[in-house]
């Protein structure tokens, strides 16, 4: 279906947990978070019901996120059941890659078409500093297994001033050796992310161009503008929500791990979609209620403004 600005909304991102086995400093508080222990996430049946209603409204792509989705105990069942819904043309996953190697065969069976791996450093020591608990070699092993099994892999990297700007070239150079996409995502000013200064896509592109030939492919896929290094096997993407707002092309809605539907990453929401699934109303009424929320999706985010409608949660609580 289309929202009131004429955008075709066919993509739903569902966070299945805000729990994570990493503690990346720009994503969540470094203090012990009691709320994480108290999490009462959306149930498997609620997720499946949301997807089934979503496809009635034209949803064709589902991305499962978190927190870290692969640590949820029933994640295999969730993915498998979604994969059986014939209207879903793309089933994707965003993960930190920590247990990707162990899960890869089942992900393939479930028809997961693409895996995005959050990876901000290729250096073991720095990777550990950023994630607090992560093992780079284990993540890289999972990435290679995914490629070997024919699953498309994209690496998502956030470049932060004073942390990993020295790795821009090495990250970009992965696309020369592997059939992999590396996407540089601007740091979102959400929760803990507000404490740090990120690099814009233009900053990163200039750094790459100082030592590499970067060809503009003049194509966009979703939020990403794609380029290619000379002779590269993969592509380099730039996702620039802050410096170059792409909201006019946004085709997605989000569902948090607590079952709240978010029309926009930046916008505060209290619409408990999971409660609608529990109600005894018929499917037609559910569709009408959700369609109204989608129709009223805001025109654009307000990251660059001070506003009372801004969501105050950390990224792991919203869904990365």
CB atoms within 10 A of CB 280: 5
Q: How many Å apart are CA 279 and CA 218, to the nearest integer?
A: 47
Please report, in tens digits, the pLDDT of each residue of the chain (320 residues total).
999 999 999 999 999 999 999 999 888 877 655 455 566 789 999 999 999 999 999 999 999 999 999 999 999 999 999 999 999 999 999 999 999 999 999 999 998 999 999 999 999 999 999 999 999 999 999 999 999 999 999 999 999 999 999 999 999 999 999 999 999 999 988 778 888 999 999 999 999 999 999 999 987 776 789 999 999 999 999 998 878 777 788 899 999 999 999 988 767 777 888 888 888 788 899 999 999 999 999 887 656 555 555 555 666 666 66
d(CA 87, CA 146): 25
What are the C-alpha distances in Å from 276 to residues 37, 60, 78, 265, 287?
A: 25, 21, 19, 21, 10
Residue partners of 72: CB distance under 8 A and separation at least 6: 16, 17, 19, 41, 66, 78
Number of other residues whose CB lies within 10 A of the CB of residue 35: 11
**Residue 127: in which H helix or E strand, if any?**
helix 124-131
SS (H, E, C) 43-78: CHHHHHHHHHHHHHCCCCEEEEECCCHHHCCCHHHH
Supply the pLDDT for residue 306.
Answer: 53
Instruction: Give the pLDDT confidence score for residue 34 in this predicted structure.
Output: 47
Q: Domain limits of the chain? A: 11-318
Q: Which helix (H) or strand (E) holds 181?
A: strand 181-185
- 282, 241 contact by CB (below 8 A): no
The pLDDT, as a whole number, for residue 151 is 94
Which residue has 């978070």 as its token pair?
A: 33
> Looking at the DSSP assignment, which residues form a beta bridge with residue 14?
64, 255
Contact 44/77 with Cβ under 8 angstroms? yes
Total-model pTM = 0.91
- List, in order, residues 6 or more apart from 186 with CB less than 8 Å away: 158, 198, 199, 200, 201, 239, 240, 241, 242, 243
**11-318: which CATH topology?**
TIM Barrel (3.20.20)
**The two structure tokens encoding residue 252:** 């997605």
What pLDDT does residue 241 have?
Answer: 80
């Amino acid at each position: 279906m289309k929202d009131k600005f004429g955008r075709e909304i066919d993509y739903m991102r569902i966070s299945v947990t805000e729990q994570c086995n990493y503690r990346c400093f720009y994503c969540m508080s470094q203090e012990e978070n009691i709320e994480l222990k108290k999490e009462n996430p959306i149930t498997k049946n609620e997720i499946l019901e949301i997807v089934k209603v979503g496809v009635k409204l034209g949803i064709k792509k589902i991305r499962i996120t978190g927190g870290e989705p692969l640590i949820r105990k029933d994640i295999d069942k969730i993915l498998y059941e979604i994969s059986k819904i014939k209207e879903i043309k793309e089933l994707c996953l965003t993960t930190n890659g920590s247990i990707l190697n162990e899960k890869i065969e089942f992900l393939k069976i479930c028809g997961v078409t693409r895996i995005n791996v959050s990876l901000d450093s290729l250096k073991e020591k720095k990777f550990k500093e950023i994630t607090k608990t992560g093992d780079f070699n284990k993540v890289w092993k999972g990435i290679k297994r995914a490629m070997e099994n024919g699953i498309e892999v994209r690496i998502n990297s956030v470049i932060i001033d004073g942390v990993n700007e020295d790795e821009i070239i090495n990250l970009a150079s992965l696309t020369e050796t592997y059939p992999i996409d590396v996407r540089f995502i601007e740091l979102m000013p959400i929760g803990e992310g507000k404490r740090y200064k990120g690099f814009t896509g233009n900053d990163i592109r200039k750094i790459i161009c100082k030592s590499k030939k970067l060809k503009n492919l003049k194509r966009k896929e979703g939020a990403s503008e794609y380029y290619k290094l000379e002779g590269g096997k993969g592509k380099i993407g730039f996702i620039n929500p802050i410096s170059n707002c792409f909201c006019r092309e946004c085709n997605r809605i989000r569902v948090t791990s607590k079952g709240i539907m978010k029309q926009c990453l930046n916008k505060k929401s209290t619409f408990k979609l999971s409660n609608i699934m529990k109600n005894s109303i018929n499917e037609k009424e559910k569709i009408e209620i959700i369609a109204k929320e989608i129709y009223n999706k805001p025109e654009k985010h307000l990251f660059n403004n001070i506003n009372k409608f801004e969501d105050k949660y950390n990224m792991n609580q919203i869904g990365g």
